């Protein structure tokens, strides 16, 4: 376990290109694996989570070549997937687990899916229950709620599923199974979650119907290999957007960041808090919108965050908590119970670690309340193996009055392997 000490800085200035979007990188590999023909991916995120997706699909018989940010997937259609003699290890990746289960649900063979200690605690019944309803055989601890999971897919039938949670992983798993099921599969969510699956399936030639909170696909559809350009990950950009806003004398430009509106809750929050944030050079590539984002040191006010915006910024809440410690007044984050089932229980980890640095923060049943501004103190904190907690603590260290030592910092490799290199470039 590696420790890292982060110290206060006087300013952050410069331009960086954050790594590729994690959600889109996973999907490019998976959709390429079930498509007919070659898929090439440009701007792929070579983080541990997306590498887990590549390794699982290689074990399922798909030829995939990867070098840094460039990937080639030699898809042979749905029938190209083969039973693996090896266990499919998803590492720390919830997206790999849940989307792959949707694909395996319709494949007529047996697979074993396992992950790390964090994955073993994350609820899988949210996908295995509807996939079982469709006809897949899935078993695991607590009737298929926790890894290790065993799955035998086969001929499945369409369902009309009302998801109790706004989750792109749940929606995607069911739609992927729906693509090879008899009839029309519909998923309806309580709020709209990220729609990268819908956009990329269309780019791969799939017909689907979208209606406010519902998406439907007809079974029996094939995908055609494509060239995918992955935008920068707004969830990775978020760390520098917050850092630029709270550190004096700063100006940071982030190039080619994905600004799909199902992901831009962090931009809305920054603007609402009063941040000096500029969006330029907007363009759409492969159905996905991207833009350059420039953030400058800002005077910030606390706000209330809840309701439909939550799925649009769920992964950014740990770093939004740091932002709120530096804003004037109270920030209330509510309706965010989903934080409890992320890589760690992020209500507990964020609140406990920030308290160690002297923040005025308290946990609630569905979020947290933060009173600012507070001059954070130094201290010893940990990531608990959660990449976004590790990076959030690093941002806290940049404004703390004494050094912050972060344990288990290697977790950042899951989504942003060159995070500290980029930070150095801006100091
Ligand atoms: C993701 C969906 C979200 C998000 C995760 C990535 C995806 O999870 O938190 O980091 O790529 O579909 P949920 O589907 O559980 O909300």
Contacts of 85 (CB under 8 A, 6+ apart): none
Helix or strand (DSSP H, E) at 283: strand 276-285
Q: What is the dihedral of CA 269, 292, 22, 365, to 10 degrees?
A: -10
C-alpha 229 chain-centroid distance: 17
Q: What is residue 75's predicted lDDT score, i.e. its pLDDT?
A: 98
pLDDT of residue 186: 98
- Name the residue with the closest Cα to ligand 1, atom 15: 167
Q: Residue 99 C-alpha to ligand 1 middle, in angstroms?
A: 10
Q: What is the pLDDT of residue 1?
A: 87
Predicted pLDDT of residue 286: 87
- Give residues (CB < 6 A) around ligand 1: 23, 95, 167-169, 172, 193-194, 314-315, 338
User: Same CATH fold, 22-229 and 4-20+231-426?
Assistant: yes
Superfamily covering domain 4-20+231-426? Enolpyruvate transferase domain (3.65.10.10)
Q: Are 243 and 218 spatial neighbours (Cβ–Cβ below 8 Å)?
A: no
User: Residue 62 CA to chain centroid, in angstroms?
Assistant: 24
pLDDT at residue number 375: 98
* Mean pLDDT (10-residue bins), the chain, 427 residues: 96 98 98 98 98 98 98 98 98 98 98 98 98 98 97 98 98 98 98 98 98 97 97 98 98 98 98 98 95 98 98 98 98 98 98 98 98 97 98 98 98 98 98
Pocket test for ligand 1, best of 121, 194, 337 (most atoms within 8 A of CB): 194
Q: How far is the CA of 137 from the centre of ligand 1 (A)?
A: 24
Residue 211 CB contacts under 8 Å (≥ 6 apart), including other chains: none
The Cα 247–Cα 10 span in angstroms is 7
Is the pTM higher than 0.75?
Answer: yes
Integer Cα distance of 427 and 422 in angstroms: 9
Q: Where are the domains of the chain?
A: 4-20+231-426, 22-229
388 vs 202: CA distance, rounded Å: 30
CB atoms within 10 A of CB 110: 13
Rg (C-alpha) for the chain, rounded Å, is 21
d(CA 332, CA 322) in angstroms, rounded, equals 13
CA of 168 to the centre of ligand 1 (A): 6
Q: Which protein residue's CA is at the shortest distance from atom 11 of ligand 1?
A: 23
Spatial distance between the Cα atoms of 395 and 409, rounded to a whole number of angstroms: 13
Q: H/E element holding 89?
A: strand 88-89
- Tell me the CATH class for 22-229: alpha beta
């Amino acid at each position: 376990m590696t420790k890292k000490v982060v110290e206060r800085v006087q300013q952050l200035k410069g331009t960086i290109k954050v790594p590729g979007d994690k959600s889109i990188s996973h999907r490019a590999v998976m959709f390429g694996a079930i498509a007919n023909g070659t898929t090439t991916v440009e701007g792929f995120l070579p983080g541990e989570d997306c590498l887990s997706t590549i390794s699982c699909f290689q074990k399922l018989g798909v030829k995939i070549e990867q070098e840094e940010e460039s990937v080639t997937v030699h898809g042979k259609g749905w029938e190209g997937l083969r039973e693996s003699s090896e266990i499919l290890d998803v590492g720390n990746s919830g997206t790999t687990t849940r989307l792959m289960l949707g694909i395996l649900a319709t494949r007529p063979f047996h697979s074993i899916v396992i992950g790390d200690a964090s994955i073993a605690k994350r609820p899988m019944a949210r996908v295995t229950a509807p996939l079982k309803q469709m006809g897949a055989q899935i078993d695991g601890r607590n009737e298929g709620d926790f890894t290790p999971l065993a799955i035998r897919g086969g001929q499945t039938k369409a369902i009309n599923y009302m998801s109790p949670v706004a989750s792109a992983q749940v929606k995607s798993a069911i739609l992927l199974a729906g693509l090879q099921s008899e009839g029309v599969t519909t998923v309806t969510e309580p709020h709209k979650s990220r729609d990268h699956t819908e956009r990329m399936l269309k780019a791969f030639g799939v017909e689907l119907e979208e209606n406010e909170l519902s998406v439907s696909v007809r079974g029996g559809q094939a995908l055609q290999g494509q060239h995918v350009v992955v935008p920068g990950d707004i969830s990775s950009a978020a760390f520098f957007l917050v850092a630029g806003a709270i550190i004096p004398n700063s100006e940071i430009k982030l190039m080619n960041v994905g600004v799909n509106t199902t992901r831009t809750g962090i931009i809305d929050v920054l603007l609402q808090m009063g941040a000096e944030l500029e969006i330029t050079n907007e363009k759409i590539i492969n159905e996905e919108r991207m833009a350059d984002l420039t953030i400058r040191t800002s005077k910030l006010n606390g706000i209330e965050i809840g309701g439909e915006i939550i799925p649009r910024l769920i992964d950014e809440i740990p770093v939004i908590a740091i932002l709120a410690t530096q804003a004037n007044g109270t920030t209330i984050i509510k309706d965010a119970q989903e934080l409890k089932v992320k890589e760690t229980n992020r209500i507990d980890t964020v609140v406990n670690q920030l308290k160690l640095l002297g923040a005025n923060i308290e946990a609630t049943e569905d979020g947290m309340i933060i009173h600012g501004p507070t001059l954070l103190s130094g201290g010893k904190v940990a990531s608990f193996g959660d990449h976004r907690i590790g990076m959030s603590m690093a941002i806290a260290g940049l404004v703390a009055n004494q050094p912050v030592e972060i344990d288990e910092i290697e977790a950042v490799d899951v989504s942003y392997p060159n995070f500290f290199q980029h930070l150095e470039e801006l100091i």
